[in-house]
């Protein structure tokens, strides 16, 4: 099962840059999009309900043309959630969650903390709400797969200029510490698991100063799974040659069926 994730930085813009051709050629089992920045009726009919896919759109309710996520799945879920049932987070259209019999898939556009202390606080509280939600599913016997734009580089290996950016949101110690906590709670970065020493592997580049052509980037997009799914990981990749956004797609391949997830209290770390 192939799952792709891509922050398209505006689906209408991406369509003009060949998104639909890429989608038709790639045809993943599930495609998760972030930062769609559009209501569903603003995109071509061919993308509102792509042939062969169930489609789920969650635009931002608070502000037009801002954030937004979508998922196209060839597999019909048992249920779909559009957030964590917390209004201040759900109104920004950052989550589509598909619930399957044995697992849950999250497509998430995590907040950017670079617009002042209030937004950094919002980002960190969003992270904690997400972790609580993930614990809930584990405690109820379901595996958890979360793809999307996490808006944080975890380690120095994940960013081209670590020293220059240590005081910039997206690489702040407090943001990276939350990523540490996430891992300590039993979640695994699939790309780094399979490519522990790979450098210069980024998924976002500034539009300034030719950053992409020089590969001066950040790895902001991840595919995390709970530790119980590690044996099912076949592949996890970044696709920097795919253009159309300031981010590139990432992908994870998982081999079903998934092993049973024990129903027991989570050994969480706060």
User: So which residues are the catalytic ones?
Assistant: 149
Question: Which residues touch 15 (CB under 8 Å, ≥6 apart)?
Answer: 43, 44, 47
Maximum CA extent, the chain: 51
Q: Crossing angle for the helix pair 117-139 and 173-184, nearest 10 degrees? A: 0
One-character DSSP codes across 84-121: SS-HHHHTT--EEEEE-SSEEEEEEEPPP--S-HHHHH
Token duo for residue 148: 């999307």
Burial class for 16, CB neighbours closer than 10 Å (0-12, 13-18, 19+): exposed
155-to-178, 189, 254 alpha-carbon distances in Å: 12, 11, 24
Question: CA–CA separation, 42 vs 13, rounded Å?
Answer: 11
């Amino acid at each position: 099962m192939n799952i792709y994730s891509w922050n398209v930085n505006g689906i209408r813009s991406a369509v003009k840059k060949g998104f639909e051709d890429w989608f038709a050629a790639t045809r993943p089992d599930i495609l998760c999009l972030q930062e769609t920045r559009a209501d569903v009726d603003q995109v071509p009919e061919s993308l509102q309900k792509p042939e062969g896919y169930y489609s789920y759109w969650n635009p931002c309710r608070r502000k037009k043309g801002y954030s937004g996520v979508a998922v196209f799945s060839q597999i019909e879920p048992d249920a779909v959630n559009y957030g964590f049932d917390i209004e201040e987070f759900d109104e920004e259209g950052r989550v589509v969650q598909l619930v399957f019999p044995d697992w849950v898939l999250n497509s998430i556009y995590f907040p950017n903390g670079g617009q002042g202390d209030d937004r950094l606080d919002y980002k960190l509280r969003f992270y904690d709400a997400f972790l609580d939600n993930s614990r809930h599913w584990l405690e109820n016997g379901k595996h958890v797969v979360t793809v999307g734009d996490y808006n944080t580089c975890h380690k120095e290996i994940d960013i081209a200029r670590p020293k220059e950016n240590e005081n910039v949101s997206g690489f702040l110690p407090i943001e990276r510490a939350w990523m540490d906590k996430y891992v300590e709670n039993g979640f695994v970065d699939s790309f780094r698991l399979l490519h522990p020493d790979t450098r210069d592997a980024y998924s976002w580049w500034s539009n300034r100063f030719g950053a992409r052509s020089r590969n001066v980037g950040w790895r902001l997009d991840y595919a995390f799974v709970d530790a119980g799914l590690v044996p099912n990981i076949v592949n996890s990749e970044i696709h920097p040659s795919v253009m159309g956004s300031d981010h590139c797609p990432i992908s994870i391949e998982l081999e079903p069926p998934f092993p049973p997830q024990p129903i027991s209290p989570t050994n969480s770390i706060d």
